[in-house]
A and B are shown apart, each in its own frame.
Chain A
Amino acid sequence: DPKIIQKPKYLVAVTGSEKILICEQYLGHNAMYWYRQSAKKPLEFMFSYSYQKLMDNQTASSRFQPQSSKKNHLDLQITALKPDDSATYFCASSQDNSAETLYFGSGTRLTVL
């Protein structure tokens, strides 16, 4: 059974729309992360949360907003979508935000038309 669940697996959106990517982890971890991987770039760090608080942010655009309603949830809201946002978005978690093993979900593949 997957311990980090990302929904949906595939997502198609039109330019200018808004989408929410869902991530839930059932590992009992306290730290969660979002990464992005596009065809043109390597796996790129976006956000990290620890105990539902933002710890590190590498995303310049305010169109990307993480949302943590529960300790084991870290959703990603993306507004005013652009074709360049097309990528696979990976959620990850670790026991805490110190030096710990990172576990990944299977990703949400977003295509913006």
Chain B
Amino acid sequence: GQQVQQSPASLVLQEGENAELQCNFSTSLNSMQWFYQRPGGSLVSLFYNPSGTKHSGRLTSTTVIKERRSSLHISSSQTTDSGTYLCALKNNNAPRFGAGTKLSVKP
């Protein structure tokens, strides 16, 4: 079955609102990585976060291994945040991706 599940599948925000994206996994975890995929398709690494909390500007990632989840918080969203957010789980094999959260931020 699906090892990595992301929610919500899509999200529409007004500029300035916050977003909370979830990644739940059903297996053990060696690493967790969050990516932003631009509308054109290229992938940008946001966080490599196997456990704990990390911050980068308006973004915060929290991974809780015991609860088998990782979250990505976007504060004060901007229209340029629009795109797809993907989480990738690595256990003993190559990283596997969730289906993504498609975020649309309206002006």
Contacts and interface: CB of A to CB of B under 8 A. Distances in A.
Interface stretch (B12-20, B57-65, B68-76, B87-95): B87-95
A45 B96 contact: yes
Interface residues of B, number: 21
Main secondary structure of the interface of A (DSSP, over half): strand
Interface stretch (A15-23, A60-68, A71-79, A102-110): A102-110
Interface string A81-104: 000000010100000011111111
B33 interface: yes
Given A101-B48, A104-B42, A104-B43, A45 B30 contact: no
Nearest to A47: B94
B30 A99 contact: yes
Contacts of A43: 86, 97, 100
A48 interface: yes
